[in-house]
Chains A and B, each alone.
Chain A
Amino acid sequence: MIYRFTCIVCPLGCSIEVEMENGEVLGVTGHTCPRGMEWAIEEVTNPRRVVMSVVPVEGGALPTVSVKTAEPVPKEKIPELMKFLAKLKLKAPVNVGQVVAEWEGIKIVATRGA
């Protein structure tokens, strides 16, 4: 199985191919730097994303505060995390940088105050 990516490590945007078999990386081609290779392997074996959303807040100037995960989350867990975030409700005051919740050890941080 060959996975194709446009690398996002730098603006060069190399087309990288990662060849996989039974969960093993057989080879990486198309990259022009070691960072690109590392990124592509990570992207195939363990893709992660920082997740952001908004959460309703009571008593703030705006009706929501924006939040993000303090670290990247495994891609396949994102739908589950979104369900968790959809149930959150906060009360003002909330400060930028405040940890407003925790989910499976991952901190949910406010990025907009209320």
Chain B
Amino acid sequence: MEPMPQISMLSYDVVVIGGGPAGMAAAVKAKELGLNVLLLDENDYLGGILPQCIHPGFGLHYFKEELTGPEFASRLAKRLVELGVEYRTAARVLEIKNYSDLEKVVIFTSPAGVYQVWTKAIIYAAGARERHAFEIGIVGDRVAGIYTAGEAQTLMDIYGILPGKEVVIVGSGDVGLIMARRFALEGAKVKAVIELMPYPGGLARNVMILRDFNIPLYLSHKVVEVRGRGRVQRVKVVRVDENLNETGEEFWIEADTLVISAGLIPSVKKLKKIGVEIDPATGGPVVNDRLETSVPGIFVAGNSLLINDLVDYVAEQGELAAESAKEFIEKGGIESRKWVKVRKGQNVRLIAPHYLSGDRDVYLYLRVARPMENVELRIPEIGKKLRLPVVKPAEMIRLKLRAEEIQKASEKLTVEVVRA
């Protein structure tokens, strides 16, 4: 009989789960604040998805210069190493346990064995997962050649493997468009980008990619079926009406590869298991202005909190989570005289954080439900008004509220986006 495996015990002030931009920024900040911190990541390398995002456009706010994803990641990793932050890669978290406010356990496996870590606080920064073909109603043959955009990106830009030669991309969000460019640059034929909505999902600078490479964009269309023997051979495309219902109008596109770029969902399974309250709109936890979840001492940052457009804001959330963990450990909890509830008004699809103390300035992150021009963002309870020329669901709005402004609200404040 095999002997029982030894479970090694470790002890830290704070464990950061996830070594992407949110987790690295959090671990760096925690160390700078004098906390004893351990960073865990399940990948073989740090950086999360950044190392495979080889295009420029990162870091304009956080580092004040334009970087590619791998460059952004390597800057954070360098700071992490300089400060001597302890980290483990290939470390997969199996379970989080919450015994009491300052007694939590993280169990993880790694090539060196199984570990049980006692910690006072946890910063959860495990990112998001991609929506896959089954979730958007694509049926048909079970064939090779169907990838999520992120999988295709890993193959191409980490491992140097071109996943296919004739490609149809589902979804015109930024990731889908960026992958359209990567395929086209590497000599594959991108036959179409198919978008369900009547407008493109990505930033204007990425929509330009389609013109650069003469890639047809089908708005108000969806892929419904895949056919092939062993490998994708053709996909069926259907036009939808203004209510997104399928019309009879359909056609087939010959292709060997289908790339799904249909949005991201915060990875919060392990948090749900310990009873963390989830906001159905963001898909991430309900948090207060310290990014603390409904379980005291468990903080969340980055795409696990809500899906961000800019890595700069992700890193900013990581730093805030680390400052909050420090406060939590020192005071034995996050206290506030009152919590002002943030409510979604007209044309606001999602917003976080959800509860504000008024003790500190805060950034609200929000998305609108539909595009509008010439609008005013209003918070009636505190008399706040902000003119915006354009709002789009694809572009997150980040709004700073000062502590004094928040204090003017009694129990709630409502954020609405209305015609000016």
Contact status A54-B212, CB under 8 Å? no
B1 within 8 Å of A (CB atoms): no
Q: Which residues of chain B are within 8 angstroms of A78 by Cβ–Cβ distance?
A: 185
Which residue from A8, A50, A66, A113 sits with its C-beta under 8 Å from B208? A8
8 smallest CB-CB distances across A and B, nearest first, come from A112-B70, A66-B54, A8-B205, A64-B160, A111-B68, A6-B204, A13-B204, A52-B54
- Min CB distance B193 to A, Å, is 16
Which residue from B71, B158, B203, B389 sits with its C-beta under 8 Å from A62? B158
Q: Which residue of A lies closest to B72 (CB)?
A: A111
Contact status B45-A11, CB under 8 Å? no
- Min CB distance B387 to A, Å, is 12
Q: Which residue of B lies closest to A61 (CB)?
A: B45
Contact status B186-A111, CB under 8 Å? no
Q: Which residues of chain A are within 8 angstroms of B156 by Cβ–Cβ distance?
A: 54
Give A87 to B205 CA distance when docked, in angstroms: 29
Contact status A7-B204, CB under 8 Å? yes
Give A53 to B183 CA distance when docked, in angstroms: 10
**Contact-size category for A:** 20 to 34
Residues of A bordering B, CB below 8 Å: 5-8, 11-13, 49-54, 56, 61-64, 66, 68, 75, 78, 82, 96-97, 111-113
Contact status A62-B56, CB under 8 Å? no
Number of residues of chain B lying within 8 A (CB) of chain A: 28
Give A92 to B114 CA distance when docked, in angstroms: 32
B249 within 8 Å of A (CB atoms): no
Contact status A112-B186, CB under 8 Å? no
Contact status B208-A6, CB under 8 Å? yes
Given contacts A54-B156, A66-B157, contact A12 B70 (CB under 8 A): no
- Min CB distance A100 to B, Å, is 14
Given contacts A56-B160, A62-B45, contact A96 B70 (CB under 8 A): yes
Given contacts A11-B395, A96-B74, contact A52 B68 (CB under 8 A): yes
Give A78 to B212 CA distance when docked, in angstroms: 11
Within 8 A of A (CB), among B198-222: 203-205, 207-208, 212
Which residue from A82, A97, A111, A112 sits with its C-beta under 8 Å from B185? A82
Give A50 to B158 CA distance when docked, in angstroms: 19
Q: Which residues of chain B are within 8 angstroms of A53 by Cβ–Cβ distance?
A: 54, 185-186
Contact status B157-A64, CB under 8 Å? yes
Contact status A66-B68, CB under 8 Å? yes
B159 within 8 Å of A (CB atoms): yes
Which residue from B68, B159, B160, B207 sits with its C-beta under 8 Å from A6? B207
Mind listing 29 A-B residue pairs with CB under 8 Å?
Answer: A6-B207, A7-B204, A8-B203, A11-B395, A13-B390, A49-B212, A50-B56, A52-B56, A53-B54, A53-B185, A53-B186, A62-B45, A62-B51, A63-B159, A63-B160, A64-B158, A64-B159, A66-B51, A66-B54, A66-B68, A68-B56, A68-B68, A78-B185, A82-B186, A82-B187, A111-B54, A112-B70, A112-B74, A113-B74
Q: Per-position contact with A for B352-392: 1 when CB-CB < 8 Å, else 0?
A: 00000000000000000000000000000000000001100
B97 within 8 Å of A (CB atoms): no
Q: Which residue of B lies closest to A82 (CB)?
A: B185
- Min CB distance B88 to A, Å, is 16
Q: Per-position contact with A for B234-249: 1 when CB-CB < 8 Å, else 0?
A: 0000000000000000
Q: Which residues of chain B are within 8 angstroms of A7 by Cβ–Cβ distance?
A: 204
Give A50 to B205 CA distance when docked, in angstroms: 13
- Min CB distance A62 to B, Å, is 6
Give A66 to B203 CA distance when docked, in angstroms: 23
